[in-house]
Amino acid sequence: MIMIQLVAMAQLLIAQTTNNAIDARTPIEIQARSEAYEVANKQVDVNDVSIFYREAGDPAAETILMLHGFPSSSHMFRDIIDGLSDQYHVIAPDYPGFGFSSVPNTDDFDYTFENISIVIEKFADELGIEKFYLMMHDYGGPVGMRIAVRNPNRIQGLIIQNANTYMQGLGEWSQKIGAYVQNQQFKELEEFKAYLMSAEGVKMQYTAGSRDASTIDAVSYLTDIAFLDRTNVRKIQSILFDNYGTNFHQYLEWQSYLRSHQPRTLILWGENDKYFAKAGGEAYRNDLEEVEIHFFDAGHFMLEEFPREAVKIIRSFLNKG
């Protein structure tokens, strides 16, 4: 009963926020905000898709573009945004079909990682962001790495949180999915996908591998569950889930980008992640001459347990630049 009530509350919150007018303050008004830099909730149309995004900090400062994972949204970066916005300009969008962004049907939008990367790149163009740091988690990896490969001169550095670029980084769940595909066990694959998008499965993705599950705010996974409950969203997520295999074919190109351009890179990695193993974080040493790596006793969503530690490390990394 309590779970049902909390999900209902999250759904009500989504409905209320979606119906509210989006922040329409001018850039001058934004710059005039106090040093606390409250988070502004905004939207912009990109290729006929309404993209919701969170923005905080001084637009004149260096920009960090935060790209979320599955099954989350920009909400996953809330503590990091608060912790960095006094010194940096932080922007975190929701992808089409995620969070508060619009959910175009599959006839009107091609739900692939390639297409989402194009939308997010144009989103940055629309906001006039010429150069930025990329902070990437999970799905944010294949979205962000595509953007980086196409625009190496725009990337000031990478902050990678459990976003995979190496085959040795595939963890227990990723290997399980791969085995289902290889053995043509499509019924089992569909059942596992359905589980990952169920209320129980979403909660499990937040708590599996965590040091202390009691420290993870239930609002995080209940919010994701409420977003998934919208019309057609699970169907869309299933399509994108199936498209994930296209990323493996890009790994060599992304590794070549790392070797050739040597972007300043910080790795924050939950070492108990069931999707992406610790070896995936360590593998970045293969191609980067100078990379800073920090492992945490956490799972896929390590920012839920270690937000203060992550902010401190990110600040130190960025200030060295």
Where in the sequence numbering do the catalytic residues fall? Answer: 300
Distance CA 220, CA 223 (A): 5
Q: In what order do the strands lie in the sheet with 63-67?
A: 40-46, 49-56, 89-93, 63-67, 132-137, 155-161, 265-270, 291-296
User: Could you tell me where the DSSP H helices lie in the chain?
Assistant: 2-19, 27-31, 78-84, 113-126, 140-150, 172-182, 186-196, 199-207, 218-228, 233-243, 245-248, 251-261, 278-282, 307-320
Strands 40-46 and 49-56: antiparallel
**Cα–Cα distances in Å, from 93 out to 50, 65, 73, 140, 310?**
11, 8, 8, 11, 20
Distance CA 39, CA 26 (A): 14
Tell me if residue 26 falls in helix, strand or coil. coil
Distance CA 165, CA 251 (A): 6
Distance CA 284, CA 286 (A): 5
Which token pair is 7? Answer: 């999900």
Which token pair is 10? Answer: 């999250």
